[in-house]
């Protein structure tokens, strides 16, 4: 897995308008500089780049002329030998030229096909072993292959000996089913996959003719796959015409494989290519990328189970676009603006104060701002008022509770697996770590290395909600490494570099976790705790490595290159590796989660699916945030502060002519439905008024205090009636508070209202459990649920006594944090006057406000 | 017959590769076309009788079984020569020419054979529920693939008064495809509560005037919500919505088809009739998972009247016996809340659907998790049996008067050359609806998921 280094593109564009014509060519750049070909099937892809005076590089592989002297021929820049000897290739365009010497050896020597590195590569390239064809478990028809050839020995068995040896026919290779099916000489469910005149057919045929030789067990291994050009290459499209189609521009990609015997092979023609964003560019089977529209994409290159991605940017001049430098506040804005400028989107302006306080309050505290807070903020004339509001909200208890809820989601805190008591204690610990702003590396260390009784060491409950080794490994990988490792349990991950061995190496770290059920204490207690309440003892035994079931080889715990003493807790070295500054995942995944919570979408999306084939929309920004996070001592609040104070966060959701088509480059704010808990709380807060919650808080504080006093007074008899009674009072007060705001409690009950709006059931560690898309059930809930009906009734109590004018003003301040417009005032007061039943008319108005987009959506 | 001579592998190749480009033999093409024409279902009604219905007491009579273990219910002829049921299906026997009975169902999955929750989920999804990805119910997939045919109704309705109704799964599909669950036919959420239709329209008008702060014009996510709101308003105010659930409004002569006239004998018939009404109203996929409601006065001791007859299966009353346990709370299979009400309701359903022409395009499936042991245990009960049991099908091109497969003289094992699995059942339903099980659907993470993975449509149901 790889991440490109920080690469700022501002330097590429110097003028105010990027619409300047290309400068003349300055020089040619050809890769490689010399070509050496070995054996009859050698071939090398040349890359020809023209470097312009302004530094722009442009692919000329298809545009230049090649003149070959010597035993080779060339087509589309791909050099193929025709005999032994040496010669040269002259590359020219206009008056520029460069000469590339080449030599060919062993052309006349037989070179048997490598089953693994050639035949299986061909099958992978043709899609034969993909997850929807023969690569699915049990294969298709009678041919079963391993997914993307991750298990060559299985493939060997299937192809050579499978189906009563019908697939291959060495005496008459062309009659092999392996060739007849994909060429449709006999019917084939997968359609036409091979053409007789292609090299891929020739490779398979030769392999069969050579007697279907299996791979030598100790033959050379592929150790590295290299792709040229590197990240950051820009494809420049010609200007768009009326009907929008811009002149296509292309980029050839070249792939080389490095083997353990030191040999390097050009595998461009047998590697597999795809793009992550096919509206931006496409790629053909020979690695030729064609830019279609401005944007960014990864070109994903697969050679067997090695995956390497390069990130390309496609730009196009937008007519009339002029970059006007917007105000910036720190590196977030600089990096966002660099990207917008390069891709020619103009950011929207700053959002107004009313929008800001509502947005900030929902994102940071989960709750709508109160009417008083809003009025005070709107009236504040000082220029630093947004910064101060950010600090105030970040320091509130509501913030810690709301972000505690989000962590509790991912940690799957629930009453069923844990008991009520254990869930409460565990989530209180989570809340405290947020409130104290514990260093994130420390939080993760405490969580993952927790040892002790779950009643005493709260973090140890992590190993109860994840109750077996594989589940721990998958959860840790998803939460802290942003990897959906689960796929690698049964086969190498299809889209990234994690192998099945890696899966069991990570699992081996947690293989020795001992979960000892503690005994319910004997004695004459009036109320005995049950087994779940007593909890477990979480310990670590020396443990053995977990075996990969495919190979039966026990795996060393990850990281595998660290020496561990036999009795050492394996988790320590793992956490050290995880939280080390150079860990490519930890900080990036953490800041990406914060970013997604605040901006509504991760820089990497899905937020827990980090892999080279799924690039961040702004790689430089993600890197910079991660670096800042490390420098700050893994300070989550610091990163939030940086983001919240940026212009990027504070942008309006209104679009302009030059950014209305932008979906993810952050040129305008993203409109999104309130989350389930936010929406229910918004309805409660609007209809009941904000003071209700404060009353519950006071009640709980008083009950806590009373309990403490009675406990002190009855030290010798903890079961005294007074203690029992004040405990009951405390529990009742806690229950009242807890059942009120959903954003303010760690494990809200699952209700039909909340689940319609995407409340996660906490069965997995996947952030995707929280569903975000609109659906019919939501509309039905808003229109016809008991919850809305009840609250609307109460709201009429809250507002009903106010005179019309004041009612309308307060309603808008409370619901959408702004004053009503004249039109809105008139509509509502007309409606109130027209209605015969004033109480009902009030309800109608409140219902209507709850159902406005402005209320339901974060904007 | 052509279809039968056409091996499945060839069939799959043909249907996937496309017919035009292949230049295949015309005979084969015709056969494929015929099977396509038999994929006639527009919607599906699943009657799920939960708990494991004893096959040897119902669809698969064994008059020559060991007398110690033999069912006390007589074997009777149906209106199709050679096709026999037990007398517990005497009403259905008169309509045997409309249905196919598949007697060679098997469910030999480890861990699932003893689990009613997993066994139920297995049937709901038509796929092994213990795999790495949570598989959505067949109904949810159908909603996803085919959409709704009646916008004022949910695409997938699930009558869920049965014990395992919580095992429905949405899996990785979006929330719009979730099973709309009702209990005892009582509509929740679709009936306007505490507000009149006019007032709702009035509110929506007021909303239209106030919904100006954030418009959906350039914001697709806002527009989506607005269109769902319009659909919700239609659902809540369209008289057809509630009418589709209103079994009471049916005329008496129709009601009589499903159940006797007495108040306390109507439940199962009403639920089956609800199924027909929902299908007729355009719901894509309906599951009726019901069981007789417990009522201490009428059915004393019948606390959980599903088909899990571990104890005293032939009791004339409840199954609560000394030394029993797992099978307590049921009623004997021959008592009204069990087979007699089922026979009446099922025969009524088939007759009613037939006379309305609904069987042309609706596939009706009568299913259960597994069968029951051919041997009677020491508590006079029968335990779970996964090696052979029966399903019944009708409509959507399913041939009538057909027995598929065969079991031995005790009903213990399948003796016919082919046996079918739950995956095969799933594949049958999908194929009848024209959904190709050889093409995967994809999870949000792009993982291909094969519907009813490994299943093959039950060939004999495609005449």
Q: pLDDT tens digit string along A488-508?
A: 887 777 777 788 888 999 999
b/e string for A87-102 if b means 16 or more Cβ within 10 A? bbbebeeeeeebebeb
The per-residue pLDDT for A240 is 57
More confident residue, A497 or B362: B362
Q: What is the token pair recorded at A166?
A: 């019908």
For residue B7, what pLDDT is reported? 38
Q: How far B48 CA sits from the closest chain A CA (Å)?
A: 25
> Min CA distance, A799 vs chain B (Å)?
18
Q: How many CB atoms lie within 10 A of CB A758?
A: 20
- For position A2, what pLDDT does the model report? 35
Which pLDDT score, from 0 to 100, does residue A523 have? 67
Q: How many CB pairs under 8 A join A and B?
A: 158
CA distance B376 to chain A (A): 38
Above pLDDT 70, what percent of chain A? 95
A132/B444 touch (CB, cutoff 8 Å), yes or no: no
CA of A275 vs chain B CAs: smallest distance (Å): 14
**What's the rounded Cα separation, in Å, for the pair B165 and B179?**
10
Put simply, whether A830 touches B (Cβ < 8 Å) is no
The domains of chain B are located at 1-15+24-38, 43-189+239-461, 192-237
**pTM of the predicted protein model:** 0.84
Asked whether residue B144 carries a pLDDT value surpassing 90, the answer given is yes
- CA–CA min distance B10, chain A (Å): 8
- Quick one: pLDDT band at residue A138, thresholds 50, 70, 90? confident
Query: What does DSSP say about strands A85-93 and A65-69: parallel, antiparallel, or unpaired?
Result: antiparallel
Give one DSSP letter per residue of A771-790, joined into a string: --S--HHHHHHHHH-HHHHH
Q: What is the mean pLDDT of chain B?
A: 88
Do strands B402-404 and B99-105 pair parallel, antiparallel, or not at all (unpaired)?
Answer: parallel
Name the H helices within A436-512.
440-448, 462-465, 469-480, 500-509
Is the pLDDT score of A402 beyond 70?
yes
- Six token digits for residue A47: 């890359």
How confident is the model at residue B372, as a pLDDT? Answer: 96
Q: What is the pLDDT of residue A89?
A: 95
Least confident span in A308-312, A532-536, A552-556, B341-345: A532-536
Q: Is A487 on the interface with B (CB under 8 A)?
A: yes
What's the count of helices (H) and strands (E) in chain B, helices before strands?
Answer: 13, 14
Q: Is A651 exposed, middle or buried (0-12, 13-18, 19+ CB in 10 A)?
A: buried
Three-state secondary structure call for residue A341: helix
* B9 closest CB neighbour out of A141, A653, A655: A141
Q: Nearest residue on chain A to B214, judged by CA atoms?
A: A854
What are the phi and psi torsion angles at B11 (to 5°)? -60, -45
Q: Do B229 and A847 touch (CB under 8 A)?
A: no
**Cβ-defined contact of A779 to B215 (cutoff 8 Å):** no
* CB atoms inside a 10 Å sphere around CB B257: 21
Could you read off the pLDDT of A544-595 as tens digits, one per residue? 788 888 888 888 888 888 888 877 888 999 999 999 988 999 999 999 999 9
A823 close to B (CB below 8 A): yes
What is residue B217's predicted lDDT score, i.e. its pLDDT? 64
Best-predicted range by mean pLDDT (A244-248, B8-12, B182-186) = B182-186
Note the pLDDT tens digit of each residue in B55-101.
999 999 999 999 999 999 999 999 999 999 999 999 999 999 999 99
Give A653-703 pLDDT, tens digit per residue: 999 999 988 888 999 999 999 999 999 999 999 998 877 888 888 888 899
Q: List the domain boundaries for chain A.
A: 115-209, 224-317, 323-403+585-674, 404-582, 689-757, 776-858
Q: Which chain A positions have a beta carbon within 8 Å of B176's beta carbon?
A: 775-777
Q: pLDDT: is A390 or A466 the higher one?
A: A390
Set of chain A residues whose Cβ sits within 8 Å of the Cβ of B178: 777
Spatial distance between the Cα atoms of B229 and B37, rounded to a whole number of angstroms: 38
A451-494 pLDDT, tens digit each = 999 889 999 999 999 988 999 999 999 999 998 888 788 777 77
| Interchain CB distance below 8 Å, A189 and B16 | yes
Nearest residue of B to residue A755 by CA position?
B175
A490 shares contact with chain B (CB less than 8 Å): yes
Average pLDDT over residues A293-299: 92
Whether pLDDT at B15 is above 60: no
- pLDDT class for A274, splitting at 50, 70, 90? very high
User: What are the pLDDT digits (tens) for B258-299?
Assistant: 999 998 999 999 999 999 999 999 999 999 999 999 988 999
Q: Which residues of B touch A655 (CB under 8 A)?
A: 218
Q: What's the Cα-to-Cα distance from A526 to each of A188, A515, A727, rounded to whole Å? A: 73, 28, 14
- Res. A9: pLDDT tops 60: no
Strand duo A264-266 + A96-105: pairing: unpaired
Predicted local distance difference test score (pLDDT) of residue A733: 87
Residue A613 · residue A301 · CB < 8 Å: no
pLDDT at A544: 75
A783 touches chain B (CB under 8 A): yes
Q: How confident is the model at residue A215 (pLDDT cuts 50, 70, 90)?
A: confident
Q: How far apart are CA A826 and CA A831, in angstroms?
A: 8
Residue A199 has a pLDDT of 87
Total Cβ atoms within 10 A of residue A554: 13
Residue B460, min C-alpha distance to chain A (Å):
21
Q: pLDDT grade, residue A712 (50/70/90)?
A: confident
Pick the CATH number of B43-189+239-461 from 3.30.540.10, 3.90.1150.10, 3.40.720.10, 3.40.50.150: 3.40.720.10
B contacts of A768 (beta carbons < 8 Å): 444
The confidence score (pLDDT) of residue B99 equals 97
At residue B28, the pLDDT reads 44
Asked if residue A655 lies in contact with residue A351, where contact means CB atoms within 8 angstroms, the answer is no
Is the confidence at residue A511, as pLDDT, over 60? yes
* pLDDT on residue B39: 59
pLDDT score at B3: 39
Residue A28: partners with Cβ closer than 8 Å, 6 or more residues away: A48, A49, A50, A51, A60, A64, A91, A93, A96, A97, A98
pLDDT at res. A836: 78
CB contact under 8 A, A857 and B214: yes
Q: How confident is the model at residue B149 (pLDDT cuts 50, 70, 90)?
A: confident
| A326 in Cβ contact with A648 (< 8 Å) | no
Q: How confident is the model at residue A328 (pLDDT cuts 50, 70, 90)?
A: very high
Tell me A295's DSSP state: E
Per-residue model confidence (pLDDT) at position A751: 87
Torsion sign across C-alpha atoms A470, A472, A476, A482: positive
Q: Using a CB-CB distance cutoff of 8 angstroms, which residues of chain A are in contact with residue B226?
A: 853
CB-closest option in A132, A848, A854 to B203: A848
Report how far residue A371's alpha carbon sits from residue A369's, in angstroms, rounded to the nearest whole number: 7
pLDDT of res. A524:
58
Q: In whole angstroms, what is the distance from residue A110 CA to residue B421 CA?
A: 52
- The CATH class of the A224-317 domain is mainly beta
Provide, rounded to the nearest whole percent, the portion of chain A with pLDDT above 90.
Answer: 56
Say if the Cβ atoms of B202 and A844 lie within 8 Å. yes
SS3 A175: helix
Mean pLDDT of B200-210: 94
- What is the reported pLDDT for A711? 86
**A148 contacts: CB under 8 Å, gap ≥ 6:** A124, A129, A130, A135, A302, A304, A305, A492, A494
End-to-end CA distance of chain B: 9
CA distance readout (Å), A248 to A289, A293, B372: 10, 9, 67
**Of residues B132, B195, B216, nearest to A853 (C-beta):** B216
Report d(CA B295, CA B263) in Å as an integer: 13
What residue of B is the nearest CA neighbor of A853?
B214
Per-residue pLDDT of B296-330, as tens digits, reads 899 999 999 999 999 999 999 999 998 877 889 99
pLDDT at A528: 67
Instruction: Assess A138–B contact: CB distance below 8 Å, yes or no.
Output: yes
Q: Average pLDDT for residues A395-413, to the nearest whole number?
A: 93
d(CA B67, CA A842): 75
ipTM computed for the complex: 0.82
Query: Inter-chain contact B440–A132, Cβ cutoff 8 Å?
Result: yes
């Amino acid at each position: 897995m790889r991440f490109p280094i920080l690469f700022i593109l501002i330097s590429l564009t110097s003028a105010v308008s990027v619409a300047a014509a290309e400068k003349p060519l300055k020089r040619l750049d050809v890769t490689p500089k010399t070509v050496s070909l070995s054996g009859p099937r050698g071939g090398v892809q040349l890359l020809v780049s023209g470097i312009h005076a302004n530094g722009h590089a442009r692919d000329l592989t298809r545009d230049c002329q090649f003149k070959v002297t010597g035993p080779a021929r060339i087509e589309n820049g791909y050099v193929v030998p025709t005999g032994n000897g040496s010669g040269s290739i002259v590359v020219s365009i206009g008056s520029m030229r460069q000469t590339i010497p080449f030599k060919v050896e062993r052309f006349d020597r037989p070179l048997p096909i490598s089953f693994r590195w050639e035949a299986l590569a061909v099958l992978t390239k043709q899609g034969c072993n993909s997850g929807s064809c023969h690569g699915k478990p049990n294969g298709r028809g009678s041919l079963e292959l391993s997914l993307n050839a991750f298990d060559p020995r299985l493939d060997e068995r299937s192809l050579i000996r499978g189906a009563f040896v019908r697939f291959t026919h060495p005496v008459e290779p062309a009659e092999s089913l392996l060739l007849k099916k994909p060429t449709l000489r006999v019917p084939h469910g997968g359609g036409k996959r091979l053409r007789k005149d292609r090299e891929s057919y020739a490779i398979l045929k030769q392999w069969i003719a050579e007697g279907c030789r299996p791979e030598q067990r100790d033959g050379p291994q592929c150790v590295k796959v290299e792709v040229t050009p590197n990240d950051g290459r820009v494809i420049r499209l010609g200007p768009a015409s009326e009907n929008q189609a811009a002149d296509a521009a292309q980029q050839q990609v070249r792939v080389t494989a490095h083997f353990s015997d030191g040999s390097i092979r050009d595998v461009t023609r047998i590697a597999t290519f795809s793009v992550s964003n096919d509206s931006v560019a496409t790629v053909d089977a020979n690695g030729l990328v064609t830019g279609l529209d401005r944007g960014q994409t990864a070109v994903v290159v697969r050679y067997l189970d090695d995956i390497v991605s390069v990130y390309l940017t496609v730009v196009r001049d937008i007519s009339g676009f002029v970059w006007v430098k917007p105000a910036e506040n720190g590196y977030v804005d600089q990096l966002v603006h660099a990207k917008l400028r390069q891709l020619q989107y103009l950011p929207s302006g700053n959002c107004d104060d009313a929008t800001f306080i509502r947005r900030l309050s929902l994102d940071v505290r989960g709750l709508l701002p109160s009417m008083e807070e809003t009025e005070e903020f709107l009236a504040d004339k000082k220029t630093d008022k947004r910064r101060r509001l950010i600090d105030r909200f970040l320091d509130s208890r509501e913030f810690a509770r709301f972000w505690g809820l989000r962590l509790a989601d991912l940690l799957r805190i629930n009453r069923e697996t844990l008991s009520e008591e254990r869930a409460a204690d565990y989530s209180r610990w989570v809340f405290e770590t947020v409130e104290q702003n514990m260093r994130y590396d420390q939080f993760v260390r405490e969580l993952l290395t927790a040892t002790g009784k779950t009643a005493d060491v709260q973090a140890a409950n992590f190993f109860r909600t994840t109750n077996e080794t594989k589940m721990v490994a998958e959860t840790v990988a998803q939460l802290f490494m942003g990897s959906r490792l689960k796929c690698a349990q049964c086969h190498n991950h299809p889209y990234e570099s994690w192998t099945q061995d890696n899966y069991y190496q990570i699992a081996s770290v947690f293989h020795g976790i001992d979960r000892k059920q503690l005994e319910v204490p004997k004695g004459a207690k009036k109320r005995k705790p049950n087994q779940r309440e007593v909890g477990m003892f979480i310990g670590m035994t020396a443990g053995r490595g977990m075996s990969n079931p495919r190979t039966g080889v026990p795996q060393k715990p990850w990281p595998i290159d660290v020496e561990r003493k036999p009795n050492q807790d394996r988790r320590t070295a793992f956490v050290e590796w995880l939280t080390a500054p150079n860990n490519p995942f930890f900080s990036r995944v953490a800041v990406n989660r914060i970013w997604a919570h605040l901006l509504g979408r991760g820089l990497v999306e899905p937020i827990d699916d980090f892999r080279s084939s799924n690039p961040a929309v702004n790689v430089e920004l993600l890197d910079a945030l991660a670096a800042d996070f490390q420098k700050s001592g893994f300070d989550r609040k610091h990163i939030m502060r940086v983001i919240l104070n940026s212009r990027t966060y504070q942008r309006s959701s209104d679009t302009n002519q030059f950014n209305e088509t932008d979906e993810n480059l952050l040129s305008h704010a993203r409109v999104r439905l309130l989350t389930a808990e936010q929406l229910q709380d918004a309805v409660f807060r609007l209809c009941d008024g904000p003071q209700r919650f404060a009353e519950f808080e006071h009640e709980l504080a008083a009950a806590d205090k009373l309990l403490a006093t009675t406990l002190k007074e009855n030290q010798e008899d903890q079961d005294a009636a007074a203690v029992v009674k004040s405990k009951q009072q405390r529990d009742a007060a806690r229950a009242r508070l807890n059942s009120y705001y959903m954003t303010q409690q760690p494990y809200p009950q699952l209700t039909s209202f909340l689940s319609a709006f995407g409340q996660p059931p906490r069965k997995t560690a996947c952030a995707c459990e929280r569903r975000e898309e609109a659906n019919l059930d939501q509309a039905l809930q808003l229109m016809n649920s008991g919850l809305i009906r009840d609250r609307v009734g109460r709201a009429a109590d809250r507002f009903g006594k106010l005179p019309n004018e004041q009612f309308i003003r307060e309603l808008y301040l409370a619901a959408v944090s702004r004053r009503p417009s004249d039109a809105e005032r008139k509509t509502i007061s007309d409606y109130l006057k027209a209605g015969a039943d004033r109480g009902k008319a009030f309800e109608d108005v409140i219902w209507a406000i709850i159902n406005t987009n402005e209320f339901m959506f974060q904007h | 017959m052509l279809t039968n001579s056409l091996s499945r592998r060839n069939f799959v190749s043909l249907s996937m590769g496309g017919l035009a480009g292949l230049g295949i033999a015309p005979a084969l093409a015709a056969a494929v076309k015929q099977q396509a024409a038999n994929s006639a279902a527009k919607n599906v009604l699943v009657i799920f009788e939960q708990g494991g219905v004893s096959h040897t007491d119902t669809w698969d009579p064994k008059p020559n079984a060991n007398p110690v273990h033999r069912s006390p219910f007589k074997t009777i002829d149906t209106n199709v020569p050679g096709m026999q049921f037990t007398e517990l299906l005497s009403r259905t026997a008169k309509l045997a020419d409309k249905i196919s009975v598949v007697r060679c169902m098997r469910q030999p999955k480890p861990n699932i054979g003893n689990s009613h929750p997993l066994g139920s989920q297995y049937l709901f999804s038509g796929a092994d529920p213990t795999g790495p990805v949570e598989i959505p119910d067949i109904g949810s997939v159908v909603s996803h693939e085919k959409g709704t045919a009646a916008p004022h109704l949910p695409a997938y309705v699930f009558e869920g008064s049965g014990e395992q109704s919580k095992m429905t799964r949405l899996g990785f599909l979006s929330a719009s495809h979730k099973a709309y669950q009702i209990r005892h036919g009582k509509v929740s959420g679709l009936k306007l509560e505490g507000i009149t239709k006019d007032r709702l329209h009035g509110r929506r008008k007021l909303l239209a005037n106030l919904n100006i702060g954030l418009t959906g014009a350039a914001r697709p996510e806002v527009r989506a919500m607005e269109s769902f709101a319009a659909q919700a308003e239609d659902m809540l105010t369209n008289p057809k919505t509630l009418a589709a659930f209103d079994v009471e409004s049916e005329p008496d002569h129709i009601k009589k088809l499903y159940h006797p006239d007495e108040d306390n004998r109507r439940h199962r018939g009403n639920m089956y009739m609800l199924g027909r009404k929902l299908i007729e109203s355009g719901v894509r996929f309906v599951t009726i998972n019901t069981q007789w409601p417990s009522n201490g006065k009428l059915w004393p001791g019948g606390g959980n009247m599903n088909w899990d007859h571990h104890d005293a299966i032939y009791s004339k009353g409840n199954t609560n016996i000394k030394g029993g346990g797992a099978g307590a709370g049921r009623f004997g299979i021959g008592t009204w809340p069990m087979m007699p009400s089922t026979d009446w309701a099922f025969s009524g359903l088939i007759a009613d659907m037939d006379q309305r022409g609904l069987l042309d395009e609706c596939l009706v499936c009568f299913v259960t998790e597994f069968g029951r042991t051919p041997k009677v245990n020491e508590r006079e009960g029968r335990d779970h049996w996964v090696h052979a049991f029966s399903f019944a099908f009708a409509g959507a091109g399913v041939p009538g008067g057909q027995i598929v497969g065969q079991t031995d003289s005790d009903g213990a094992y399948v003796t016919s050359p082919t046996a079918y699995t739950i995956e095969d059942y799933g594949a049958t339903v999908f194929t009848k609806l024209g959904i190709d099980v050889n093409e995967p659907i994809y999870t949000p993470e792009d993982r291909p998921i094969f519907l009813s993975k490994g299943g093959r449509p039950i060939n004999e149901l495609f005449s």
